[in-house]
Copies of this chain bind each other. A is one copy, B any other.
Amino acid sequence: MDHQHGRLLLVGGTHGNERTAPWILQCRQAQPGLLASPLPTTTCIGNPEAYGANRRYMDRDLNRCFTEALLRDQSCTIREVIRARELVDAYGPGGRDPHRLVLDMHTTTAAMGSSVVTVGERPADLAWAALVHQAVGMPVYLFRINEDHPEECGFLVRRWPCGLVLEVGPVAQGIVAVGTVQKTTACLEGVLAVLGDCLTGKAKLPETMVVHRHLASLDWPRDRDGRQIACLHPDRPQWDWTPLHPGDPLFLMETGETVTYQGEETVWPVFCNEASYGEKGIALSLTKRDTMTPPAHGLEVLLGLLRP
């Protein structure tokens, strides 16, 4: 059956207080023809209960619930794990209504502009990211899966054969800000256009692409009670995507003291001051900027997933 192939799942509201993507999906539903997709496309709210409550999640971050172990453990009744199972059973590649590609749309309070994130470095994800990067011009963040800490994994996109994350910021949680809507819409148009190019055989990988490989995350300096005792240093006009050299100002302590970056090589920070990451012990993430050749076989896999 044709509908079992090459379908795209567009997800907004995986975090219930990130309201930009749900708003775009709502407008798309109200305006037939808006953001027309070149392939059969289903839209859904990732975490409707958290979205209703305007909270990131109810029991647990949904975007950490898609591990094999959690999905399999039927005794686990965490609301987000149940929801993850629902999504996989409904739209997963082996589900009732199977989809092969997924786009998970997020926002951040970090001043990152628009970016595309791959979780791990699967060839098809990299090829799709390269095409979107080429079409829309936004930076690519290659997030590294830490297999030693499966509880930190469990990302939604990993349950589909191919999936990307869009991140747009800065925007406060809980609001629909038109500028962020417009930036996210532009990215989504790029994603859809790229898939159209794939279907018509016009897609051509760029020879090289600039990527930002995840190296590590840094927590805020904290006192014995776990209280944050520093903020990002004000001497940098922009934090995200700009080089942080050894010895550069990093944190401004509550005492007024400056803490400099002690690493041995230049890094590029991302997700600086993401509001939800305080509880995860992340003040910012560090990446290494790199130029790579997008994998040609990744494009073949992607084209294969799009074919009926």
Using a CB–CB cutoff of 8 Å, the interface residues on chain A facing chain B are 23, 26-27, 29-31, 34, 54, 109, 170-179, 181-182, 227-229, 231-234, 252-256, 273-276, 278-279
Q: Are B31 and A256 touching (Cβ within 8 A)?
A: yes
Chain B residues lying within 8 Å of A31, measured Cβ to Cβ, are: 254-256
CB of A295, distance to nearest CB on chain B (Å):
36
Chain B residues lying within 8 Å of A231, measured Cβ to Cβ, are: 23, 176-178, 181
Chain B residues lying within 8 Å of A175, measured Cβ to Cβ, are: 109, 273-275, 278
Nearest CB to that of A170 among chain B residues? B172
Chain B residues lying within 8 Å of A23, measured Cβ to Cβ, are: 231, 254
Q: Are A176 and B228 touching (Cβ within 8 A)?
A: yes
20 sample A-B contacts, Cβ–Cβ < 8 Å, listed by A number: A23-B231, A26-B227, A26-B229, A26-B254, A27-B256, A30-B255, A30-B256, A31-B254, A54-B279, A109-B175, A173-B174, A174-B275, A175-B273, A175-B275, A177-B231, A178-B231, A178-B232, A178-B234, A178-B252, A179-B234
A26 to B222, CA, bound (A): 13
Q: Are B109 and A276 touching (Cβ within 8 A)?
A: no
CB of A24, distance to nearest CB on chain B (Å):
10
A173: contacting residue among B173, B181, B229, B279, CB under 8 A:
B173
Chain B residues lying within 8 Å of A274, measured Cβ to Cβ, are: 175
Chain B residues lying within 8 Å of A176, measured Cβ to Cβ, are: 228, 231, 273
CB of A179, distance to nearest CB on chain B (Å):
8
CB of A232, distance to nearest CB on chain B (Å):
6
Nearest CB to that of A20 among chain B residues? B231
- By Cβ-Cβ distance, the 6 closest A-B pairs, closest first, are A174-B275, A109-B172, A172-B172, A178-B234, A30-B254, A176-B231
CB of A228, distance to nearest CB on chain B (Å):
7
A238 to B255, CA, bound (A): 36
CB of A298, distance to nearest CB on chain B (Å):
35
A25 to B181, CA, bound (A): 35
Q: Are A276 and B178 touching (Cβ within 8 A)?
A: no
Q: Are A254 and B173 touching (Cβ within 8 A)?
A: no
A8 to B245, CA, bound (A): 44
Q: Are B255 and A172 touching (Cβ within 8 A)?
A: no
Chain B residues lying within 8 Å of A279, measured Cβ to Cβ, are: 54
A174 to B232, CA, bound (A): 14
Chain B residues lying within 8 Å of A234, measured Cβ to Cβ, are: 178-179, 182
Chain B CB within 10 A, most for which of A170, A175, A253, A278: A175
A176 to B252, CA, bound (A): 11
